[in-house]
Amino acid sequence: SQQSGAELDCASVAVGTPVVPMGSAVTASCTIRRERCRGLEDGQPQISWLLDSEPMAGRQRRGVGGTEVSELSVPQLNRPQAKLWCCVEWNGTKQRVGMAEIRAGYPPGKPSNLSCLLDLSDYGLTCRWQQGADGHLPTNVMLKCATSRSPAVTGCTPPNGHSQCTVPRRLLQLYRPMELWVTATNALGTAESERLRIDPMDVAKLDPPTLQSIHSVPPQTDCVTLTWAMAPRNAHMEQCCELRYRAAEDPSWDVVTGIPGHAGTMQHCKFLFGMLYHFQMRCRRDSARGYWSEWSVGRNYTTHEKAP
Amino acid sequence: SQQSGAELDCASVAVGTPVVPMGSAVTASCTIRRERCRGLEDGQPQISWLLDSEPMAGRQRRGVGGTEVSELSVPQLNRPQAKLWCCVEWNGTKQRVGMAEIRAGYPPGKPSNLSCLLDLSDYGLTCRWQQGADGHLPTNVMLKCATSRSPAVTGCTPPNGHSQCTVPRRLLQLYRPMELWVTATNALGTAESERLRIDPMDVAKLDPPTLQSIHSVPPQTDCVTLTWAMAPRNAHMEQCCELRYRAAEDPSWDVVTGIPGHAGTMQHCKFLFGMLYHFQMRCRRDSARGYWSEWSVGRNYTTHEKAP
Amino acid sequence: APLAELSGDHDFQLFLHKNLEFTRKIRGDVAALQRVVCDTFQLCTEEELQLVRPDPPLMQAPLDQCLKRGFQAEVCFSQIRAGLHAYQDSLGAVLQLLPEHTALVETLQLDAANLSTNIQQQMEDLGLDTVTLPAEHRSPPPAFSTDFQQQVGGFFILANFQRFLETAYRALRHLAR
């Protein structure tokens, strides 16, 4: 049992296990050393208990070395946190002479839905997850990450109560698979999320391309040529892009997929004549596991009238 | 003159004084040690100069120990910063073999309008000032502070380009006059602001009071009684306060001054009957050198109708 | 290992594809630092600095094995790794030269280390002999006695690193399908 008072004190309270599964029993003992309690010298001390503010009766007996001991058993602790007070009657008042904190809760729930995103501004890998069921106990949550070949496990700790944190660039190994997982630990156990095995570069969030020019090709056809520039920060990456366009009044977009990013130009047909169109483009890594960039800034173009 | 090239180099450039008043002349010399310049062994090196990218001609002569020396005089340096390049013709190209940075500017202007404010959340003394004229040179600006009796001068350094910084609590002596002043130093001189002699507590920024109740006194008169509470953080300070009020439609405020803060209540008359009024109150240290607190949160009150 | 065998291996091709991209990224970052040196110190082209080129050259990172026709991947990769390791150290001189760009230079050092580790792990996957380069006791960056020497030194470290990366890139591309 865990001694929770120094031996020289007037009283010391010892608890079986300070943290128990919700609804379980808690046993505690309070040892009174009369000579250490100022003003309590004579007569036999009457020991009583308070669970927070709720009076509880213990079984009192003579202890070794002239001490008095009271044993308490709380059949079911149903609140996450409580204070067990050991009290002694003195001058008609109930004196608090010792205390122990007891807690009840559950092992942590399993974190889930782990996903990560690499921010190209600082190459920090930000991961988010869903917290498991609340164990009502102080819980240590950590995101853990390990590169494929090295035993070292690093990662990051989310700020209190948050379910995300960022692994700094210096702990990452780019262009190699890494393993990431979340652990939640409290006094009653540990839970681990599924393991995510990714190359950080595959989950890079790209900057959108910039649409540069749009014009008809040649004037008589219903075709249009577009040119664009890749965002400098991800220009070194092979990307595949999507173009969406819609006529001004038309609420729905048409989408052209599978456009090789580095082409920088494309042609598309079947546009109506003399019509104002809105165009936007977005890209992602051609490994198709990454995130789409935002849509580029929109660009408008009015196709030429049909030749008479 | 200041030697700015190690003796073992192909060339070393020495400048009279690297920092001169704007528009002054700058003299420099470039010494070429032919044997230290890979591939320059035979023939006499033709030395030329570049002021940033502007070609300039020097006077070339034989130096000691088989070196070649070129002397350059820039009659008027009119830009804050320039690179003086020593060049040598080689294989039909102009080779850069040495460089010295030169600067021109002015002594720092005198900082002015120094004012300070004590923030009661952390008791830091934040001082602001107006920078003097720009000397176009790297300038060290510091706020200096000294307590009346001790020789130690402490203070704080503003972040780059800012004209304010905060003297931390541990460097302050509360309830005693301190001296504060700003110094600006560059290669051409130092300037000092006027000295501010204040007790930090006299420039405390107070939290506003809280208007608690307003009601007519008694029903027939045109008088109103207000009660308020002082802000906890500055409750220990003697304060004098101001009340302002205006009728709902009336844009201009009437102001009642000289209200002793700790009274906590006051009476004021000449209100119109049956009129909705807005009330706000603010306070400052009664030494009247401090800053007014913000106006308190407003409070409305409709005076009772005139008795028939 | 003979090239023919390697070039058909899917994992090896994925490795090449990824690390070609990684090398392009590193070259882009080196080019960015070269622009900073040009803007800050007016040191922009090698042609103008022939007489003050550091002697002996600051960096010993030969890639001759990667230039031979039908080169040995194993030997070429080892030269690339040794060069990356050496440049990690000498970039320390660029750190001192460009304190306001510490983040970019440190990223370069991290990328060089990662690329070297990626190559090492791929060689291990292919059963090729690899040397584990000392990660801890690194050699100090070159020291310079004058500001001008330091600026010229920084210029040549970046210029040589850019050239080194171009050769390494060509070698990897030669192996890629």
Predicted ipTM of the assembly: 0.77
Give how far the C-alpha of residue B55 lies from the chain's centroid of Cα atoms, to the nearest Å: 40
**Interhelix angle for C147-175 vs C10-41, to 10°?**
160
How far apart CA B243 and CA B222 sit, in angstroms, is 17
pLDDT digits (tens, 9 = 90+) for A219-268: 667 899 999 999 999 999 989 999 999 998 899 999 999 999 888 999 99
The structural domain count of chain A equals: 3
Q: Which residue of A has its CA nearest to C121?
A: A149
> Quick check: B101 and B134 in contact, CB under 8 A?
no
In a domain? residue A308? no
Residues of chain B above pLDDT 70, percent: 95
The pLDDT, as a whole number, for residue A155 is: 94
Tell me, yes or no, whether A73 and A120 share the same domain: no
Contact list in C for residue B9 (CB cut-off 8 A) is 52, 146, 148-149
In a domain? residue B307? no
The pLDDT, as a whole number, for residue C81 is: 95
Domain boundary among A89, A105, A121: A105
Domain boundary among B144, B169, B203: B203
- Taking residues B256-277, report their average pLDDT: 91
Residue C42 touches partner B, C-beta closer than 8 Å: yes
Structure tokens at B94: 């102009």
Contact flag for A and B (3+ C-beta pairs < 8 Å): no
A252 half-sphere exposure, CB direction, 13 A CA radius: 1
Residue with tokens 């690899």: C130
At residue A272's C-alpha, the angle toward residues A269 and A275, to 5°, is 120
- The residue of B99, B101, B102, B103 whose CB has the most chain C CBs within 10 angstroms, and thus the best one to mutate to test that interface, is B99
- The residue of A148, A175, A199, A233 whose CB has the most chain C CBs within 10 angstroms, and thus the best one to mutate to test that interface, is A175
Q: Of residues A1 and B52, which shows the higher confidence score?
A: B52
Tell me, yes or no, whether A100 and A6 share the same domain: yes
Residues of chain A above pLDDT 70, percent: 95
Tell me, yes or no, whether B18 and B87 share the same domain: yes
Residue C72 touches partner A, C-beta closer than 8 Å: no
Q: Determine whether the interchain pair A199/C18 forms a contact, defined as Cβ–Cβ distance below 8 Å.
A: yes
Q: Helix, strand, or coil here: A265?
A: strand
How far apart CA C126 and CA C74 sit, in angstroms, is 10
> Of A224, A227, A260, A226, whose CA–CA distance to A242 is shortest?
A260
Choose the closest CB to C117 out of A173, A236, A238.
Answer: A173
How far apart CA A33 and CA A11 sit, in angstroms, is 6
Which helix (H) or strand (E) is B246 found in, with range?
A: strand B239-247
- Work out the minimum CA distance from C114 to partner chain B, whole angstroms: 35
Residue A217 carries which side chain, given as an amino acid letter? Answer: V
Helix, strand, coil in percent for chain A, rounding step 5? 5, 50, 45
Question: pLDDT band at A274, cuts 50/70/90?
Answer: confident
Residue C94 neighbours by CB distance under 10 Å: 27
Residue with tokens 């007891």: A102
Q: Given a cut of 90, is residue B43 above it in pLDDT? A: no
The pLDDT, as a whole number, for residue C4 is: 55
Q: How many residues are recorded in chain C?
A: 177
- Work out the minimum CA distance from B82 to partner chain C, whole angstroms: 10
Domain boundary among B105, B128, B163: B105
- DSSP-assigned beta bridge partners for residue A197: A179
Structure tokens at C143: 């020291």
At residue A287's C-alpha, the angle toward residues A284 and A290, to 5°, is 50
Residue C6 neighbours by CB distance under 10 Å: 16
Q: Given a cut of 70, is residue A6 above it in pLDDT? A: no
The pLDDT, as a whole number, for residue C87 is: 94
How far apart CA B292 and CA B8 sit, in angstroms, is 67
- The residue of C44, C52, C53 whose CB has the most chain B CBs within 10 angstroms, and thus the best one to mutate to test that interface, is C52
**Least reliable range by pLDDT among A156-170, A179-193, C115-129, C132-146:** C132-146
Q: Which residue of C has its CA nearest to B51?
A: C42
Tell me, yes or no, whether B86 and B142 share the same domain: no
Q: Which residue of B has its CA nearest to C55?
A: B38
> Quick check: B298 and B279 in contact, CB under 8 A?
yes
Radius of gyration of chain A (CA): 34
Residue B178 neighbours by CB distance under 10 Å: 20
Query: B residues 25-54 near C, CB within 8 Å?
Result: 37-40, 52-53
Exposed / middle / buried, residue B126 (Cβ in 10 Å: 0-12, 13-18, 19+): middle
Exposed / middle / buried, residue B192 (Cβ in 10 Å: 0-12, 13-18, 19+): middle
Q: Determine whether the interchain pair A236/C114 forms a contact, defined as Cβ–Cβ distance below 8 Å.
A: no
Tell me, yes or no, whether B17 and B93 share the same domain: yes
- Work out the minimum CA distance from C169 to partner chain A, whole angstroms: 13
Q: How is domain C3-43+57-175 classified at the architecture level of CATH?
A: Up-down Bundle (1.20)
Choose the closest CB to A148 out of C18, C21, C121.
Answer: C121
Residue B289 touches partner C, C-beta closer than 8 Å: no
Range of the domain at A287: 207-302
Sequence ranges of the domains in chain C: 3-43+57-175
> Of A243, A239, A241, whose CA–CA distance to A287 is shortest?
A239
Question: pLDDT band at B5, cuts 50/70/90?
Answer: very low
- DSSP-assigned beta bridge partners for residue A46: none
Q: Given a cut of 80, is residue A101 above it in pLDDT? A: yes
Tell me, yes or no, whether B175 and B101 share the same domain: no
Question: pLDDT band at B1, cuts 50/70/90?
Answer: very low
> Quick check: B285 and B273 in contact, CB under 8 A?
no
How far apart CA A270 and CA A254 sit, in angstroms, is 11
**Least reliable range by pLDDT among A183-187, B34-38, B225-229, B290-294:** B34-38
How far apart CA B256 and CA B261 sit, in angstroms, is 13
Q: Which DSSP symbol is given to B111?
A: P
In a domain? residue B117? yes
> Of B146, B182, B145, B178, whose CA–CA distance to B163 is shortest?
B182
pLDDT digits (tens, 9 = 90+) for A37-73: 888 767 778 999 999 999 999 999 999 988 999 999 9
Q: Which residue of B has its CA nearest to C46?
A: B95
Q: Determine whether the interchain pair C124/A148 forms a contact, defined as Cβ–Cβ distance below 8 Å.
A: no
| Sign of the four-CA dihedral A290, A295, A301, A307 | positive
- Taking residues B119-144, report their average pLDDT: 95
In a domain? residue A220? yes
**Interhelix angle for C73-97 vs C102-125, to 10°?**
170
Residue C21 touches partner A, C-beta closer than 8 Å: yes
Indicate which CATH number applies to the domain containing A153. Answer: 2.60.40.10
- Work out the minimum CA distance from A127 to partner chain C, whole angstroms: 21
Question: pLDDT band at A308, cuts 50/70/90?
Answer: low
Tell me, yes or no, whether B43 and B96 share the same domain: yes
Q: How far is CA A281 from CA A231, A232, B127, B141, in A?
A: 12, 16, 50, 50
Q: Given a cut of 60, is residue B307 above it in pLDDT? A: yes
Stretches where chain C sits below pLDDT 70 are 1-7, 135-137, 177
What is the rounded end-to-end Cα distance, in angstroms, of chain C?
17
In a domain? residue B308? no
Q: Determine whether the interchain pair B90/C42 forms a contact, defined as Cβ–Cβ distance below 8 Å.
A: no
How far apart CA A297 and CA A276 sit, in angstroms, is 16
Residue C45 touches partner B, C-beta closer than 8 Å: no
> Of B20, B27, B24, whose CA–CA distance to B135 is shortest?
B20
Q: How far is CA B36 from CA A300, B205, C139, in A?
A: 63, 67, 27
pLDDT digits (tens, 9 = 90+) for B186-244: 999 999 999 999 999 989 999 999 999 998 876 667 899 999 999 998 889 889 999 99
How far apart CA B125 and CA B247 sit, in angstroms, is 39
How far apart CA C93 and CA C89 sit, in angstroms, is 8
- Taking residues A94-107, report their average pLDDT: 95
Helix, strand, coil in percent for chain B, rounding step 5? 5, 50, 45
Tell me, yes or no, whether B8 and B88 share the same domain: yes
The pLDDT, as a whole number, for residue C72 is: 84
Bridge-based pairing of strands B47-51 and B54-56 is antiparallel
Tell me, yes or no, whether A10 and A101 share the same domain: yes
Q: Which residue of A has its CA nearest to C114?
A: A173
Tell me, yes or no, whether A175 and A243 share the same domain: no
- Work out the minimum CA distance from C105 to partner chain B, whole angstroms: 23
Exposed / middle / buried, residue B53 (Cβ in 10 Å: 0-12, 13-18, 19+): exposed
In a domain? residue A307? no
Bridge-based pairing of strands A210-217 and A223-229 is antiparallel
The pLDDT, as a whole number, for residue A219 is: 63
Residue A213 neighbours by CB distance under 10 Å: 11
Tell me, yes or no, whether B248 and B278 share the same domain: yes
How far apart CA A154 and CA A69 sit, in angstroms, is 48
Residue A201 touches partner C, C-beta closer than 8 Å: yes
How far apart CA C147 and CA C57 sit, in angstroms, is 18
> Quick check: A16 and A28 in contact, CB under 8 A?
yes
Tell me, yes or no, whether B43 and B132 share the same domain: no
Q: How far is CA A46 from CA A9, A31, A42, A140, C74, in A?
A: 17, 12, 12, 41, 84
How far apart CA A69 and CA A5 sit, in angstroms, is 14
